[in-house]
Chain A
């Protein structure tokens, strides 16, 4: 077994690792280095300033607001998304009426159609989704308020993105809307491969369908749920929250900093204010938050693997 092992290992790792080190690690190492400088991003000159950027960050109210919102994004968006997705896929796969002579557990009629329709938002890039919802949230002639007026709720005309109390929730809802479908398809696939005997056994034991969800479905899907959580949380901390906040919100990041997130703040400092060094400092903080998030999920999620 050992023959040529190291040669093999090196041979297999060299190219991926090389590519990764070159295009990912090295630029990031440089970025971290810049967080100790006063680099503006607009000229090659800079000098070292030690921990100035870091102490400035700790005193920066906007930074703390954006940190808090980012944490909310990483925790709530995956929670709601995966929760909904589990619920829907359970409905699709297990919610069907028992037909005479059919299997104990069936999907609802038209389950295939649901899986297609639910996946729709996933084929749109998040930027397009944000753009669509910006129209929908328009308080004056937007789709949602028009609809509310249409059903006689004239008194209920929220400002949506214009109201600091609900703007953040509006933005999160868009992320949930656009990603639930993907996980429905993923989880449905997982549920479909759970042997029906397991359900049957549970039902025979007198379990209701809902308890079978917690006794059978969830434990067997746990690994998928967990990687989904990490994947979704990282997206919600990074690229996706940037796109929705940047495109949809007041300012962007408002009203009154109620929706600003770390990744937006990085962008604004680097590409608007000419403070690239400070931007990288916030980026380093974002890195720490993301790593902590991933570690937390992996730790909480660790449990005995079920074999059957």
Chain B
């Protein structure tokens, strides 16, 4: 086709053509203009805030009765029913308010643009694989201080503040840098060694309290064709659920704090070395279920539930998550990790327990008071009981277990907490430094060590290297235990 373009086309342009042409141009340019003025981060146009309502005894947070409230829940292991029930209570309290409730697993991809645009929802359960980085949210001043909620009278007893109805540690966990409380963890998780009491009985063994006893139990199990341990090999950051409290038990809680604070040589503490060597012993003696490094959490839990392995480092959600594969007569139990021997710094029973399911109220929310009121409703005894009976997990509400029948795992969790007393540790690495904890320490070091590809000494050196890197990395916000 002869399109040599030698000829100038200009002379052929008539008036009609001009109009046509400009119309075509307009088609492109009109939308172009409208978004040029508002590019991605061109925020500033924050949404209008709802006016405060009247502050009464029933409405201590002065929620605007007719303002809409939007609640985005992470739709994970706990499902969404418990939250829907709480939303119903909110709607009953504020019949004129329009509540928009949604549940998703894609927290960040759905909400990130809205945080950027200044129109986030009023209450968010920021959890799951796509959890938005809390450190960044706090650092960039995107969250509302929840102190008004904590100081408001509780739902059940007007003479008691919300903060006094919570389990120990919940408020502290929500603090990052001083007094303001940015996060309210709604669930309460007990971490530790999970096992079948029935299997342990069948071995004619007691739960071990020292490492020698642990090795003896594993040996017994091995003779019966059962592995001592398995874990989520593809997500080895489950290992610390049992390993971290053991480090605290052996060397004292300060060791964990130093680790969290990214102090130099924190990992070189002798307690760390002792514990790593103890765990490595499990690998060397062949007490780890064959194939474990290739199993994900579900697969390892299933192998464990069918009796291939005795112990599993995990959190209290395991009861709900693996409900379908845990046999009825399993006798699900959790115990604190054993220590090394009598020279340990902390008593047997030292356990890791802390909040889960972080709820936040964005500072730019239109109806932040509404979001907090929703949380206040969820922290009532009735809602908490509803949560516990529906999802088999404790909530942040201290108590809330009377009068409902506890499942075996829950019962064991409550017992383990009682045994622990004040000896509850709460390592913060997994909230503060996600990449460091999960990917670097978990996958690249602990996972490699338990698969037998790194010795304990090499592991410590590698972890310390990663920790030092993170301490120096200016792109990460650093936190310290208060």
Q: Which residues of A contact B (CB under 8 A)?
A: 1-7, 10-11, 14-15, 17-18, 21-22, 26-27, 30, 34, 38-46, 56, 134, 137-141, 145, 157, 159-164, 249-251, 253-257, 268, 271-275, 278
Contact = CB atoms under 8 A, between A and B. Distances in A.
B140 A5 contact: no
Interface in B165-195: none
Nearest to B454: A256
Contact of B7 (A2, A42, A139, A271): A2
Contact of B233 (A11, A250, A273): A250
A269 to B, nearest CB: 9
Contacts of B277: none
A39 B160 CA distance: 42
A294 B331 CA distance: 59
A251 B234 contact: yes
Contacts of A21: 28, 32
Of the listed residues A137, A251, A253, the one surrounded by the most CB atoms of chain B closer than 10 A to its CB is A251
B116 A42 contact: yes
Contacts of A162: 233-234, 291-295, 451
Contact of A255 (B42, B132, B136, B448): B448
Contact of B12 (A7, A145, A271): A7
Contact of B140 (A3, A30, A42): A42
A27 B35 CA distance: 11
A271 B234 contact: no
Nearest to A41: B112
Contact of A254 (B21, B118, B296, B447): B447
B133 to A, nearest CB: 3
B17 interface: yes
Interface in B1-56: 1-3, 5, 7, 9, 12-13, 17, 20-21, 24-25, 27-28, 31-32, 35, 39-44
Contacts of A30: 39-40
B291 A145 contact: yes
Nearest to B113: A41
Contacts of B439: 251, 253-254, 268
Contacts of B303: 140-141
Contact size range, B: 35 or more
B241 interface: no
Contact of A14 (B24, B32, B44, B444): B24
A276 B230 CA distance: 36
Contacts of B132: 42, 274
Nearest to A250: B234
B323 interface: no
Interface string B105-132: 0001100100111100000000000111
Given A4-B12, A30-B40, A140 B234 contact: no
B438 interface: yes
B141 interface: yes
Contact of B115 (A1, A42, A268): A42
Contacts of A18: 27-28
B443 A256 contact: yes
Nearest to B476: A273
Contact of A138 (B118, B142, B299): B299
Contacts of A137: 294
Contacts of A251: 234-235, 438-439, 442-443
B434 A44 contact: no
A138 B295 contact: yes
A42 B136 contact: yes
B294 A139 contact: yes
14 contacts: A14-B24, A14-B28, A15-B24, A18-B28, A22-B35, A39-B41, A43-B115, A43-B137, A249-B234, A251-B443, A256-B444, A256-B448, A257-B444, A273-B435
